[in-house]
């Protein structure tokens, strides 16, 4: 059984955490050989029991973001299925951004381990050996809170699209929508049903659209004769103008006036605007 770790996995400035399992019952000799093979190649070495980590998830809280390399499966490879989502979720916070995880497990296929590693936030999974299966995974290089990354927007493609539109305009293929308007379309219409001013300076009502009180016909006749229309002389074609506001159209010229009899001159009483107390 090889208890040592390949030296090419280390960097001189590495802070290493070795996670070992007591279920495999490593001997004292195996633990000593492991420590000697690691501590001379790295800046710091720490040993932790796997079962203690699974039993107490806060066991590594004091080492959050501290290590650059974690070794699992030394001095004895882990049993099949030991590399679980629960274990990796406890180990990942201990790594720095871009930190490495190297593990050994007695399995023949790495598909399940690869899936668990990816779900735990690791990337760049690679298989380093077989029998036992050894793998390497990393955390994203910018995993720290508050970091940012530039976004590459394809501005060239957007600019090219607008250049094509400008080229079509210069070729004269596009129609100028302003040329489709007639002078009558540009004239500002008089608002329907709103007060306007006649020649004498007195305000009067304009006939509304779809007029039913006869004012529109009177205005058309007056325009033909060059005369102004007195809205007070307009006759009702709907028969409801005399009944009061509850029966009148929304733009009826009699809105606001009290009910009256047909042909009767409307007179407002002196108390019309007084409050009813």
List the binding residues for [4Fe-4S] cluster.
238, 241, 249, 252
Q: Which residues sit in the known binding site?
A: 192, 208, 211, 213, 238, 241, 249, 252
Does residue 14 contact residue 69 with C-beta atoms inside 8 Å?
yes
Q: Which residues sit in the known binding site for [2Fe-2S] cluster?
A: 192, 208, 211, 213
Q: Please, what is the Cα angle at 177 between 176 and 183, to 5 degrees?
A: 115
Q: Where do we find the tokens 């007639």?
A: 182
Alpha carbon 132 to its chain's center: 46
Instruction: Give 30-35 contacts, CB < 8 A, sequence gap 24+.
Output: 30/1, 30/3, 30/75, 30/76, 31/75, 33/3, 33/4, 33/75, 34/3, 34/4, 34/5, 34/74, 34/75
Does residue 181 contact residue 175 with C-beta atoms inside 8 Å?
no
Does residue 47 contact residue 15 with C-beta atoms inside 8 Å?
no
Taking the CA atoms of 254, 259, 262 and 267 in sequence, report the sign of the dihedral they define. Answer: negative
Q: Which residues contact 183 (CB under 8 A, 6 or more apart)?
A: none
Omega prior to 132 cis, within 30 of 0: yes
Pairing outcome for strands 44-49 and 15-20: parallel
Q: What are the angstrom distances between the C-alpha of 102 and each of 110, 226, 262?
A: 13, 100, 102
**Structure-token pair, residue 161:** 């699209």
């Amino acid at each position: 059984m090889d208890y040592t770790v390949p030296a090419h996995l280390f960097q001189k400035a590495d802070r290493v955490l070795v996670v070992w399992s007591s279920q495999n019952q490593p001997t004292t000799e195996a633990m000593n050989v492991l420590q000697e093979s690691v501590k001379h190649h790295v800046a710091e070495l720490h040993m932790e029991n796997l079962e203690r980590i699974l039993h107490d998830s806060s066991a590594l809280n004091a080492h959050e973001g501290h290590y650059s390399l974690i070794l699992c499966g030394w001095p004895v490879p882990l049993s099949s299925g030991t590399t679980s989502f629960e274990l990796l979720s406890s180990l990942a916070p201990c790594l720095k951004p871009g930190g490495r995880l190297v593990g050994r497990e007695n399995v023949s296929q790495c598909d399940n381990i690869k899936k668990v590693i990816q779900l735990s936030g690791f990337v760049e999974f690679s298989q380093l050996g077989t029998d036992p299966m050894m793998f390497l995974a990393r955390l994203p290089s910018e995993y720290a809170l508050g970091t940012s990354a530039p976004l590459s927007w394809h501005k060239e493609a957007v600019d090219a699209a607008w250049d094509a539109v400008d080229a079509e305009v210069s070729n004269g293929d596009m129609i100028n929508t302003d040329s489709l308007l007639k002078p009558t379309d540009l004239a500002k219409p008089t608002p329907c049903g709103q007060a306007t001013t006649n020649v004498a300076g007195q305000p009067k009502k304009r006939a509304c659209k779809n007029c039913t009180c006869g004012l529109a016909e009177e205005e058309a006749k007056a325009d033909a004769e060059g005369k102004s229309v007195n809205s007070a002389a307009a006759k009702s074609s709907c028969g409801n103008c005399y009944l009061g506001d509850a029966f009148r159209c929304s733009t009826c010229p009699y809105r606001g006036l009290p009910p009256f009899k047909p042909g009767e001159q409307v007179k407002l009483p002196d108390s019309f605007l007084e409050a009813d107390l």
